[in-house]
Structure 1
Amino acid sequence: MDTVNEKVDHGTFSPSNESIASSPERSYVQQKRTKLSAFFKGYSFPISIFSIVFLFLVFRSFVDHQPVNSCETSTVWPSYARIHDFDERYTRFSEKYSLYLYREKSVIENAEPSGIPIIFIPGNAGSYKQVRAFAADVAHQFADLLSASYDEAIASGKRNLDFFTLDFNEDFSAFHGQTLIDQAEYVNDAIAYILSLYPDTRTRSSFPDDDLPYPTSVILLGHSMGGMVAQSVFSLYNYVKGSVNTIITLSAPHTMAPFPIDRHLVEFYDSVKEYWTNSFLQPPENNALADVFVLSIGGGGLDTTVVPEYSAISSFVPPTNGLVIFTSGIPFVWAEVDHEAMAWCERFRQVVSRGLLAVTDARFPGGTKPLDERRALFWRTYVYGASIGNDLFLNKKDPLKEMLLYSEDTEYLGEVAHVTFDHFGDSNKKKTVVPLPHGKFQSFQLLTDQSLDIGSHVRVQFCKLDPSSSFPGSDDTEFGINALCHEKNEFLRLYPASTFETKHPHDGGVFYYLSAESKDLVDYDFILIDDRNFERREGFLEGFLSPLSLKPTLIDSSVLKLLTVGERLEFSPNNTLLSAFHFTGLQSSLFSYKLTLEYEIDDGVPALFAPFMKQKLQNPVESRYFPNIKSADIIMHGVSPFIDNVDTIFNKSLVLEFYMNPLKYQHVFLRIQPDYYGSMGRLLMRYRTLLASFPFVILAYVLRNQITRFNKGGSFSDVLEALELFARRGLIKLLAVVSLLTVFLSMSYRATTASAEHADNAVAAWRASAINSRSAFWKQNYLVFGLQEPMVWMLAPVLTIVFIGFSVSLNFLLTVILKCVSFLIRIFVKLRRSFKNIFFSPAKENIQQLTQETDLGDNVFKCNKRTIQFRIIANIILLTVSLTVVPFQFAYLFTCLTQICTTAKALYAAECCEYGPSVRRRWSFFNFSLSLLVIMLHLVPFDMPIILVWIRNVSMHWYIPFPTHHNFFSIIPFILVTEIQRTGRMLPRMSDLELCLNNFLLYFLSFYSLIYGAEKPYLIHNVVGLYFMWITYLYAKDFRRRDKLTKSYNPSFSCFINTPRSAHNVNSC
């Protein structure tokens, strides 16, 4: 057995071949050389195979289930005018960042700003030129508006929009909190400067507006991390109160940083969310954000950069001041958009431009309409739908108009349940009167492929009879009806067309859908359908007075049932266009489902349109459309791991709406089944951070087992061997702990959010949740795997096994790589010695030594006085530079490279030693060195992005401070341990108290990585650094003890002077 007091004979050791073959050391060498083959026979191998296969299926599922990318590029004629006057007098970042004014060459000639200011903020590595798509389209739409109705547009406060754009030199803002703070400070400086321009530029404008107030606020348009910068400007010292009242963000990660690897970045997010939450909990008169509206637009499943649910703002912005939507539900877009295409997608930019023009109004100092009107217009533009021909720009109210209806051109239908048009324009009677039999119907629904905009050829109006008029009798052939009528645009919704040839909602065509509950029509007596076509025109219109309400039928199926057996439904449309079902169990964004439909059809009824389905969530507002539906993949971006979804349980769960002709489709069979393969792809984006942080849960536990065994007098076990032991004895315990923690945390989270889920309305739910989160000790949904539903706890042990297998696979791969490096070293050494023997004549006294030498690894860790001095100087320089110039992550990379070299040399030395008493010691040192290397390499993914940020800043000649990355204690433990390792010295054995403290530190690392690995993984580096400091202490204590034992030892193999040969040094066999 290998012990500290092992005696070594310093004489010549020349055993015979028989003694070598039968020696326990040779047996130990043979065992070590069969480690890799033994790996395939243990439990670790099937776990690794399961993990690799699972991760491969996750990736394939993610790729296979990507939506169709239907975006078309936009065409612009850009012109960027840099504002050089915005210099160091106004901002301290003038040398790093720049401000530009965009002008569309084909439309705007005036180079000076004179309209309503908008600032575009690019995202991570984004360009200021990304503003061109939106600015160009706004310019063209505004020009079209002026050409159509100049006087009316100017009188309603419409002016051109001045797009300013910020050049951040493509900073990596997603990785570094200080960069975000600097950008936000620059935005505030730019806002103050821009607002100061208008008193002069408007007077010099070709269309001076003396009666209009000068703008006192701007609109912020942010893409990606630029949206987070826009949200943060309010909490900085240089923010001018009231200078921002509208924020529009595109694929911005508001809720959580995409890569939470920097302490400053996570603290930045927490501080911003805390500021917004506290502000809205204040009375309106004390709330600096009371007039601010935030529109957050997510790209959906095509966005592979930012998790779509990270666009949510409901946890810190109440529904009165915010709206979260996805592009799949935006009228005229109806498609998911990838992260980069959010800045140039043709159909999407048109809708964004329309919304910007809708909410701006130069008659107000803020340059926008009041908050309530802004909110209504945003809902109208991005949720309900309003086309260019509608009253969106001018925001007119349709007044009641007197209508005289005569029998010559009007058809009176009497009390009917439905009305159908299969074409338009060839009837003499252009107007159709549909009476409203109050008390005999619950809802009115109408669907048509004809435009219902103001000025269109088909009108649907709601009318009330003049007191002096009445409906004609059943025998009256001639009549006259006097009524007051107007259009109710608030009842109008726009849907993608659904024909029997339609494959995707964005294929083209629009359906107009009008619906209203009977209680909303009590002031009206009839519905007037006015056909103003003078020639025959193909198309359809279906209208129904339904005995059913528009409210969906509640399906209270549990999550467990939906994930195991699914759900089956049968329903009959029963004289209604809309059949809606509310599934309270469909909330999670982690799972995908397969939906299939079968119909019983009446062949005698013509099919004017194909059935289609609308899938919708209320919070966030997400709609997906399935035209010509027979089957569909049901996915949603609702309740998600590590996200606060604040709302009532009905607003968080899924509603499925089916639109079909009830006369044609008399009976429908609906089936929903879990899609396990599709669900696997949903895990990739949401748990990608845990691929880097979760392995520390296992590695810390495995290292604890290795040290415990070594401390009892055994050899230090191999990493793969220790992982195998963990798989056999510790895996079940870990799975039990993870499962219990998941159930406990999810139940605790449900208990804390119960008040919000059962609130009367969304605003009350938000306040209840905000108060609870502010007083909570921790946020349960941010811990472990972030699962918020107790019934899906089984996902936690599955993911645990996957991450364990992933870690085992990485360790196996690293071991193989080191063995290959060791093999190359041996070949190099042998070739060098052969070269010396051929071209140089060794002295006679050295010939015998060269021919009898059996250990090629004797001199691996030898070093002289000059080498020691060089190492000391190099480390002092490295430490000084990392504390002053470069972030400590740079120095950490050097320590990793040093440890790689040390481990490779340790393996080389161990494999060269065929026999002798130090065989075990050499393998033990290699195993210990490899264990430390594995832990160090797992920290590299957390450090590389910071290095990229620093390199980017240096390339721009901007030496931005890295206050959180010049930490002495974050690097010195790794430098000390790697330098000690270079001496070839083995870890000293510990006392019982020291072993307990050692185990505590490793358990703490494992526990922290398990609990906070997703929310705050950056602290794992500090915890590992603390443990490396502990290892340094153990070495220092052992050096001091050995220094007292021997004072006059002349080193021949060690870099440390006072080190006895019998110590745990691996330099000799």
Structure 2
Amino acid sequence: MGLKRVLTGLVRRGYNSWPGLLKVPFLQNSSIFSGRITRVDGNETKIEDCKGNSTLISLNQKQTRRCRYGMRLAFLTGIILTMIVAYLTIFGTFYGADSPRCQPVYMYPSYARIDGFDLRFTPLAQKYHLYLYREQGLDKDPMDNDTIQLDGIPVLFIPGNAGSFKQVRSIAASAAESFFTHTEDIENSYKSNLDFFAADFNEDFTAFHGRTMLDQAEYLNDAISYILSLYKETNSYNAPLPSSVIILGHSMGGVVARILPTLQNHIDGSIRSIITLSSPHAASPVTFDGDILKIYQQTNDFWRNEFQNNSSFMSQNVSLISVTGGVLDSTLPADYTAVEDIVPLTNGFTTFTTAIPNVWTPIDHLAIVWCNQLRDVVSHLLLETVNVNSSEKVLPLDQRMQISRRFLLSGLEDFAVQDFRVTNATKNLEKYEQQLFGDAEVKKSMEPFILSTRDIEVSSKFTKFILPKNEPKAFFSFMTSFPKAVIYFCRENKMVGENEEEYLECVNAQADILQIPESSKYTEYAGDSSIYGNSEPFKFFRFDSNILSQYDFVLLESPNMAELANDDFMIASVTQVENILAVNDTPLDILFFGFEITLSSDDSFWHTLSFQNLWESLISYRIHVSIYPEVEKDLLFQPFIRQWNNDPAESKWHVNVGHSDQDVFMHNVAPFIPLEETHDKALKLTLFLPPDCKVRLHVAFNWRMTLKMLFIRYRLTFLALPISLISITMAYQFFWYYKTSLFMDFGAALSLLFYKHWLLGAVTLVVLSPLANTDIGQKIFYTLDPIGFNRPFLTTDVHMRTNFYYLGIRSWFMSGLGIFFAFMTIGVLLLVFQLFQILEKILHILKRVKLLPIPDVEFRHHKMVHLNLSRLFVSFLLLLAVIFYIPYQLAAAICLLIQIGTCLRIALMAENVTSKEYSNLRNYNFSMFLLMAFVVAVDAPIIIVFLHNIAIKWETPFRSHHNFMAIAPMIFLVGINSQFNVPRYTKLDVTITIGLLVYTGFFSLIYGTRNLYWTHHLCNIICAWLLYGMRFTFGKELIN
């Protein structure tokens, strides 16, 4: 109690020392609540003198003080949390493995607009256009004697939300340079140059508007048909005519690419290979438009059904590769790019740029189309997977997927092992004479091979590692800094015949050696070892007993000693120890106690820590590595860490980690993203240690990164929760309005609600997260869902499920996040309320000094004021505009402006007006303004799309959102409100009013984040019912 009293005093003194304008007005004496309000005669109120002390409805003076103090504390807490999150989101920086390392790019672009693709081929030719990219000095000129010149394989680039067709230039230029100047680096014997086409969508806002997305898909299907026809008109094209086009999509362009096969104008077989960059396949990044959610659902259902049928065309021919830049993508969460719930691993996968060999850097949303390292990899991948000798113009699916895994995965993923030569011994074994390898030096299990400038004595050309039999924990590991290494996996055999002769069957594993970032005392980032970097990558691989059981020994060829540089090394060993350690610490354990472990390179130069309970993507950690004890001599290499998880296959490299802190942020189990529940979800850290090295690893909770990354995943929640709280507070206002005939101001109602029901609210917000993650909870919420777009059980046969409800959280540990957001919501809403009261005072001051010469007004009772002819005419004119031209969201914005005007007119009334009627009018209209403001914020993206269409002179009517019933009640209500009316209800009617508002609050809380657009319709229903309540209203006439 003593500590509580001290803290209470400090907070009170700190608050009282603030300037007056920073104090919340509703928390101080309010004229309307300057006395105790009690119930009299069931319908009237009586204000009793409380000797100057202000009290709130149903509370005594002591309770009122507690209520105001609690609200002050909640307000300050919410504002502080909001400021912290905003600051970290905007100004927080990334370090180490999460910092950008993209190299600049140079090209000589030119674009040829294809005017022949006009209204004869597509009805959207006036709005969209098609371009052919040509790299100057390398590609052929696009035209020759009025004839288009096409001599390559068609690739169609689809830009994303507000994207430009010119974004194709980086990858297209790299492909041209690779083919025409470095063709010897391309291993594909069926290679050809590429003809890059790009769609110009006039920077349409695809992510905001479903109809726009469908228009683009329809246009692209027609464009593909036209592109294929162009090759028939090209006389100089010597190869088989193409029947398909390679698709390269950025952002929402990748989603549009997946819509193409679902439309009626799609040409069967015209799409076989799709590569997307930062495309949100798993879920829509915004939910402002119901059409987008409907398109996502139908498209994903189509693709899942196609791939569940093993004999379908898509299952046997179509590949979908999703590339994401990871944590630097501040436009959409990288978790949204996952495709594992849509396509099987035989047809596609998701990869992170931090895992791609020779890239090894995170990339932001826009840079992913021009980052020098990535564009070289993508262009090279395209050239390696084409087949100029076939009409499909791409290699068969299994070959494309094998090449894609080699180019875009680290090679250490479980499903990447299938591509190694040593995996399939029967297929890749070759016969060798034993004499070829001479007298190899033999190394047994747990006996390491180390070659460096400190020990260059090599007794033989080859070193032979004996592999243990029937040892489940056996590993063969190899790492070197040499640019080339030769390794054979062999087994002994005898030639049957008169002279039994022993020989070896071996697999040359040189092609299986992986590249990983260098870690030396000179390297700071993994990207330093990428293409155009200043360091050469290490070579590494390791194989477990599943592969080693096929062989008897491994032969390692020693490098040429003359080529040995000062820092070069080679280490290899066969181990039989448990290199993978399962750690069962929970996030709670890490938060309070941390985790610490000491590891040594005595038994193995790598160790993997598998944190079984650390899989929540919302949480970030910090690891500190200390070399223990201090090593005086130089190490062969500096300790480094591979951070990884299985699904999706993310790898991140932390190099040169000795005596440094590293941020660990993962994309694993994320809110609202489908999850295969049976897959291994653990966060894994693999430490690579040089010989004679011991390190201490400490893992702690990282508050800075955890708070920084909240906003990008819960941007929509910051609209849904305020609507929920506003609706519930308005329900409370109407409850007391019916009970006392006084409409409390928003701040007082929120403070009273918080004081009386804070415990119930806190428990509800905490319990909802685990409840929404249970089978029964999801079935209940799905049954109550009025929309039904979000099905939690996607494919039950493979245990694929998602959590669309509330905050989408899957762990108990993060259940308190709802309370965190609730405080932020309270802080923001009360700040708006305070600013409104400050604005009122400013208007009164301006009026007092005659800067605003508006006369005082008074109330006079008369019959109800209906809409006059001018207002009625304007209302119907607005409805006609909605029916024939503008979207109803724009009409909602106009209604908000009218409501703001009403609030300002009320604020400009006589300063001494303190009657109950004035207070009711003021408080009711402000609450309506607050609700409409957040609903119009949800409508704003559709308005932006409409205005953008006008800006590009697309003068046809907007092709969606013309339902006048979705806006008519709101239009008429703001018209009635502008004539200073307040609704009144009977007991049954007010029960319905409260029920509608409570349901809106419930819907916004549970379903709002993934169905924001529906909050407009709920608000419209509320407006209709409030309009109905005006039949009991006595109007107020304003007189001078």
What is the CA–CA distance in structure 2 between the aligned matches of 1:864 and 1:377, rounded to whole Å? 76
Q: Structure 1 residues 930 and 437 mapped into 2: Cα distance closer, same or farther (>3 Å)?
A: closer
Matching residue within 531, 549, 555 for 2:559: 531
The 10-residue stretch of structure 1 (411-420 or 226-235) with the greater mean CA deviation from structure 2 = 411-420
* 1:619 aligns to 2:647 (yes or no): yes
Q: Secondary structure at the match of 1:248?
A: strand
Matching residue within 1011, 1025, 1033 for 2:1028: 1033
* 1:185 aligns to 2:218 (yes or no): yes
* 1:561 aligns to 2:589 (yes or no): yes
1:73-472 to structure 2, matched below 5 A, reads: 73-109=104-140, 111=142, 112-146=149-183, 156-201=189-234, 203-205=235-237, 208-209=238-239, 213-281=240-308, 283-286=309-312, 288-384=314-410, 400=430, 402=432, 412-413=441-442, 415=444, 417-423=447-453, 431-439=461-469, 442-452=474-484, 458-464=485-491, 467=494
Q: Secondary structure at the match of 1:738?
A: helix
TM-superposed CA distance for 1:563, in Å, is: 4.0
What is the CA–CA distance in structure 2 between the aligned matches of 1:518 and 1:986, rounded to whole Å? 78
The 10-residue stretch of structure 1 (809-818 or 184-193) with the greater mean CA deviation from structure 2 = 809-818
Gaps of 5+ in 1: 8-21, 453-457, 470-479, 753-766, 834-855, 1040-1062
Q: Is the 8 A contact 1:433 1:528 kept in 2?
A: yes
Q: Note the alpha carbon deviations across 1:182-241, whole angstroms, 9 max, x for none.
A: 11111111111212222342x414xx23xxx33221111111111111111111111122
What is the CA–CA distance in structure 2 between the aligned matches of 1:809 and 1:101, rounded to whole Å? 52
Residue 812 of structure 2: aligned partner: 790
Q: Secondary structure at the match of 1:421?
A: strand
Residue 519 of structure 2: aligned partner: 498
The 10-residue stretch of structure 1 (177-186 or 427-436) with the greater mean CA deviation from structure 2 = 427-436
Q: Is the 8 A contact 1:641 1:686 kept in 2?
A: yes
Q: Note the alpha carbon deviations across 1:260-286, whole angstroms, 9 max, x for none.
A: 1111112111111121122222x3224
Q: Is the 8 A contact 1:589 1:640 kept in 2?
A: yes
RMSD: 3.8
Q: Is the 8 A contact 1:696 1:1006 kept in 2?
A: yes
What is the CA–CA distance in structure 1 between the aligned matches of 2:777 and 2:626, rounded to whole Å? 37
Amino acid at match of 1:911: E
TM-superposed CA distance for 1:580, in Å, is: 0.9
Q: Is the 8 A contact 1:619 1:638 kept in 2?
A: yes
What is the CA–CA distance in structure 1 between the aligned matches of 2:313 and 2:989, rounded to whole Å? 55
* 1:935 aligns to 2:895 (yes or no): no
Q: Is the 8 A contact 1:583 1:654 kept in 2?
A: yes
TM-superposed CA distance for 1:549, in Å, is: 6.3
What is the CA–CA distance in structure 2 between the aligned matches of 1:983 and 1:148, rounded to whole Å? 77
Q: Is the 8 A contact 2:676 2:799 kept in 1?
A: no
Q: Note the alpha carbon deviations across 1:857-911, whole angstroms, 9 max, x for none.
A: 2389999999933322222222211221111222222211111111122233262
Residue 853 of structure 1: aligned partner: none
The 10-residue stretch of structure 1 (729-738 or 637-646) with the greater mean CA deviation from structure 2 = 729-738
Residue 800 of structure 1: aligned partner: 822
Q: Structure 1 residues 200 and 1064 mapped into 2: Cα distance closer, same or farther (>3 Å)?
A: closer
TM-superposed CA distance for 1:320, in Å, is: 2.0
Amino acid at match of 1:875: S
Amino acid at match of 1:116: I
Q: Note the alpha carbon deviations across 1:613-663, whole angstroms, 9 max, x for none.
A: 00011111111111111332211011111111225341x2211111112x3
Residue 946 of structure 2: aligned partner: 950
What is the CA–CA distance in structure 2 between the aligned matches of 1:905 and 1:29, rounded to whole Å? 27
What is the CA–CA distance in structure 1 between the aligned matches of 2:792 and 2:860, rounded to whole Å? 66
Q: Note the alpha carbon deviations across 1:129-186, whole angstroms, 9 max, x for none.
A: 100100111111112443568xx85xx2111111111111111111111101111111
Q: Is the 8 A contact 1:425 1:534 kept in 2?
A: no
Q: Which has the larger radius of gyration?
A: 1
Q: Secondary structure at the match of 1:965?
A: coil
What is the CA–CA distance in structure 2 between the aligned matches of 1:724 and 1:792, rounded to whole Å? 26
Residue 987 of structure 1: aligned partner: 983
Amino acid at match of 1:940: V
TM-superposed CA distance for 1:826, in Å, is: 5.0
Amino acid at match of 2:520: T
Residue 672 of structure 1: aligned partner: 699
TM-superposed CA distance for 1:602, in Å, is: 8.9
Gaps of 5+ in 2: 1-36, 58-63, 143-148, 413-418, 530-535, 780-790
The 10-residue stretch of structure 1 (895-904 or 192-201) with the greater mean CA deviation from structure 2 = 192-201
TM-superposed CA distance for 1:248, in Å, is: 0.8
Q: Secondary structure at the match of 1:254?
A: coil
TM-superposed CA distance for 1:921, in Å, is: 1.0
Q: Is the 8 A contact 1:307 1:686 kept in 2?
A: yes
What is the CA–CA distance in structure 1 between the aligned matches of 2:635 and 2:194, rounded to whole Å? 46
Q: Structure 1 residues 688 and 866 mapped into 2: Cα distance closer, same or farther (>3 Å)?
A: closer
The 10-residue stretch of structure 1 (1003-1012 or 976-985) with the greater mean CA deviation from structure 2 = 976-985
Amino acid at match of 1:883: I
* Pairs aligned (count): 947
Q: Secondary structure at the match of 2:868?
A: helix
> Any runs of at least 4 consecutive aligned residues in structure 1 with deviations exceeding 6 A, and if so which?
1-7, 22-32, 37-40, 396-399, 424-430, 749-752, 773-776, 859-867
What is the CA–CA distance in structure 1 between the aligned matches of 2:339 and 2:777, rounded to whole Å? 20
Amino acid at match of 2:574: S
What is the CA–CA distance in structure 1 between the aligned matches of 2:460 and 2:224, rounded to whole Å? 55
Matching residue within 962, 973, 996 for 2:969: 973
TM-superposed CA distance for 1:401, in Å, is: 7.1
* 1:924 aligns to 2:924 (yes or no): no
TM-score, with length taken from structure 2 = 0.84
TM-superposed CA distance for 1:560, in Å, is: 3.6
Residue 913 of structure 1: aligned partner: 913
Q: Structure 1 residues 865 and 486 mapped into 2: Cα distance closer, same or farther (>3 Å)?
A: closer
Residue 11 of structure 2: aligned partner: none
Residue 840 of structure 1: aligned partner: none
What is the CA–CA distance in structure 2 between the aligned matches of 1:125 and 1:528, rounded to whole Å? 54
TM-superposed CA distance for 1:825, in Å, is: 4.5
The 10-residue stretch of structure 1 (898-907 or 955-964) with the greater mean CA deviation from structure 2 = 955-964
Residue 634 of structure 1: aligned partner: 664
What is the CA–CA distance in structure 1 between the aligned matches of 2:247 and 2:512, rounded to whole Å? 31
1:889-908 to structure 2, matched below 5 A, reads: 889-908=889-908
Residue 872 of structure 1: aligned partner: 872
What is the CA–CA distance in structure 2 between the aligned matches of 1:48 and 1:832, rounded to whole Å? 35
Amino acid at match of 1:816: I
Q: Secondary structure at the match of 1:297?
A: strand
Residue 508 of structure 2: aligned partner: 487
Q: Secondary structure at the match of 1:513?
A: strand
TM-superposed CA distance for 1:25, in Å, is: 14
TM-score, with length taken from structure 1 = 0.82
Amino acid at match of 2:352: F
Q: Secondary structure at the match of 1:294?
A: strand
Q: Structure 1 residues 867 and 556 mapped into 2: Cα distance closer, same or farther (>3 Å)?
A: closer
Q: Secondary structure at the match of 2:775?
A: helix
TM-superposed CA distance for 1:381, in Å, is: 0.6
Matching residue within 46, 71, 76 for 2:102: 71
Q: Is the 8 A contact 2:859 2:1036 kept in 1?
A: no
Q: Is the 8 A contact 1:749 1:780 kept in 2?
A: no
The 10-residue stretch of structure 1 (1025-1034 or 83-92) with the greater mean CA deviation from structure 2 = 83-92
